[in-house]
Amino acid sequence: GAVVSQHPSWVICKSGTSVKIECRSLDFQATTMFWYRQFPKQSLMLMATSNEGSKATYEQGVEKDKFLINHASLTLSTLTVTSAHPEDSSFYICRGQGGDEQFFGPGTRLTVL
Amino acid sequence: AQTVTQSQPEMSVQEAETVTLSCTYDTSENNYYLFWYKQPPSRQMILVIRQEAYKQQNATENRFSVNFQKAAKSFSLKISDSQLGDTAMYFCAFIPSRTSGSRLTFGEGTQLTVNP
């Protein structure tokens, strides 16, 4: 069945490095990909929305130069955290939507040392 | 703008008993969908149940059912015969159905603990 896969599931990196998170839609075409950030015991916070082939739309307060989103195809979207710092440590989740179908990726736990 | 409110940050229930989680929302939309998602310790978001606003009949999925009151903008989740595996964070969510790519608005979440 249709799912969204997300890789890596967890990553630990040093401060100042960049990290790329990939979300792939399987058995459906995600025309829109939503990227969320979630802190422990809190709700999901929408960071940005991307449509295939278009520039992402970022929520207020989210630095677009720090969180680079690419949605080059209907099956792949990436989020790159550039020059990561400890405060970027969080759980990142993608949600792919195509027509009436929508699926969450399993999430990526990012720890920046 | 839409808002979703879950007024119970934490709840607990004994195994095999019934528990109801509350959710209210505010919107000017007439056509929309409401969801309950479960997020267990693995943090994978799992769809529990979905309700279409134009349907008056309350949605049910096995042990899970909702009480959808459109006029009151209320959407509560009832879990019957609670099981240990139901322990999770539960999120109520809203999405307007007018366009694809619409944003999903989440409530703050309710942490449910099922005790043996």
Mutation target to probe the A interface, by most A beta carbons within 10 A, among B34, B36, B102, B104 is B104
What are A26's two structure tokens? 């399987």
Name the residue of chain A whose CA is nearest to B6's CA: A43
- The pLDDT tens digits for B78-91 are 999 999 999 999 99
Q: CB–CB of B100 and A44 under 8 A?
A: no
- The pLDDT tens digits for B45-91 are 999 999 999 998 999 999 999 999 999 999 999 999 999 999 999 99
Q: How many CB pairs under 8 A join A and B?
A: 45
pLDDT number for residue B100: 57
pLDDT-derived band at B3 (thresholds 50, 70, 90) equals very high
Q: CB–CB of B109 and A41 under 8 A?
A: yes
Cite the beta strand spans of A1-113 per DSSP E.
3-7, 10-13, 19-26, 32-38, 44-51, 57-58, 67-73, 76-81, 90-98, 101-104, 108-112
3-class DSSP state for residue A20? Answer: strand
pLDDT number for residue B98: 64
Backbone φ and ψ for B45, nearest 5 degrees, come out as -80, 125
CA torsion A28-A32-A34-A35 (nearest 10°) is 90
